[in-house]
Every structure is written in C-alpha cells, then in structure tokens.
C-alpha cells in the first residue's frame, strides 16, 4: 500500500512538472518516447464488370517477386483518402477523385513493425480503364480473379486477409477475430 501511494505521488509530481514545461518542449519529449508509425494509403480496386467474386487490380513492382496493391506513403499533412487516390493514379494510371474512394472495413490496419495502412476501396470497369505503368516504380499492372490470385508479396497477402481475400484468408493471425 505504501509503495502504491509513493508511486502515485511521484507520478503526480512528474505530471505536474511536465505540464509546466513549454508546449514545444512537451511535444519534443512525447515524440522522443512515444512509438512512431509510418502511415500509408492502400486502395483495393475491384473490376465493377466482373461477376462475383470478381477481379482485383494488382501491381508487380521491383524486384518483381510478387504482386501487390496500389499503395504508398502519405505526404506530410495529406489526408489518407487523397494519398490513396494520388498513389493509385501514380502507380496504375487510374485517376479517381478522392470522393469515389470509400473506406474499407477495417479502414486502418496497424502492423507490428511500425506502420499503419489506411485502406480504401473503389470499383472501376476494367474493360474501359486503361492501366499505365512507368516501368520503373511499377513493372506491370493487371486484373486478377480474386479466387485465383498470382503470387502475392507477404505484406499484400497479410493485408488482403483482413478482408477475407487471398491465401491467408481464414487462417489464424492478427487479421482474424478471436471468434473465428
């Protein structure tokens, strides 16, 4: 009981000192000791013309060992939906206004290695959507049947599992709820 009381008093003193510091000093202290995350934006683009289960837009990027989703890091102060639309256009040539992207459920996927993916969904007609890649950042873009996906990158397979898609869908992992 005495130890708990001492810890409580010590904590009150530390917080009292902390909140008397100038705001910029407090902010620097917090940034130093709080875990940092890199935030990315990802878009799951489905072919609106395909019958269920549908087709998914995937990209093959260097070194080309697996396929992934259109994704990238957010720029400073960039809203996630804007970043997702920007990355989609840069990597695949598919230009959509941010208002045509809807948040996936879950919208934020926190990865243990220090990054957060903000995931959005969109549907476009594959037959009239031209895919344009630069050959440097993206080697190839193509539509793939959801029930017959090519070899995926590990990160993509794990992310798709959150949405019940791909080789890890239905397997135990951080992407499944305890009830499954």
Does a structural domain hold residue 143? yes
Cβ count within 10 A of residue 109: 19
Instruction: Check whether 180 has a pLDDT greater than 60.
Output: no
pLDDT digits 0-9 by tens, 60-89:
988 888 999 999 999 888 999 999 999 999
Q: Which residues of 74-102 are buried (b: 16+ CB within 10 A; e: fewer)?
A: beeeeebbebbbbbbebbbebebeeeebe
Does a structural domain hold residue 29? no
Instruction: Check whether 11 has a pLDDT greater than 80.
Output: no
Does a structural domain hold residue 11? no
Does a structural domain hold residue 96? yes
33's enclosing H/E stretch is helix 23-33
Partner residues linked to 110 by β-bridges: 116
Long-range contact pairs involving 162-166 (C-beta distance under 8 Å, separation at least 24): 162/106, 162/109, 162/119, 163/44, 163/104, 163/119, 165/56
| pLDDT level of residue 132 (50, 70, 90 thresholds) | very high
| pLDDT level of residue 2 (50, 70, 90 thresholds) | low
Q: Which two tokens stand for residue 121?
A: 């969904």
Instruction: Check whether 179 has a pLDDT greater than 50.
Output: no
- The pTM for the full model equals 0.78
| pLDDT level of residue 52 (50, 70, 90 thresholds) | confident
Does a structural domain hold residue 157? yes
Does a structural domain hold residue 20? no
Does a structural domain hold residue 168? no
The predicted pLDDT at position 178 comes to 46
pLDDT digits 0-9 by tens, 137-173:
899 999 999 999 999 999 999 999 999 999 998 887 7
Domain that holds residue 53: 38-161
CATH number at residue 96: 3.90.79.10
Total number of domains in the chain: 1
Q: Which two tokens stand for residue 29?
A: 């202290």
């Amino acid at each position: 009981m005495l130890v708990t009381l001492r810890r409580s008093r010590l904590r009150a003193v530390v917080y009292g000192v902390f909140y008397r510091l100038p705001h910029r000093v407090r902010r620097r202290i917090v940034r130093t000791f709080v875990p940092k995350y890199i935030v990315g934006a990802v878009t799951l683009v489905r072919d609106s013309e395909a019958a269920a289960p549908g087709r998914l837009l995937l990209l093959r990027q260097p070194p080309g060992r697996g396929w992934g989703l259109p994704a990238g890091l957010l720029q400073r102060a960039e809203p996630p939906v804007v970043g997702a639309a920007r990355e989609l256009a840069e990597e695949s040539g598919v230009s959509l206004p941010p208002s045509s992207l809807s948040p996936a459920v879950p919208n934020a996927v926190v990865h243990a290695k220090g990054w957060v993916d903000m995931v959005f969904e969109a549907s476009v007609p594959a037959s009239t959507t031209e895919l344009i890649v630069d050959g440097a950042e993206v080697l190839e873009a193509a539509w793939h049947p959801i029930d017959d996906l090519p070899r995926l990158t590990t990160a993509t397979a794990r992310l798709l599992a959150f949405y019940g898609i791909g080789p890890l869908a239905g397997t135990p992992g951080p992407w499944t709820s305890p009830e499954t």
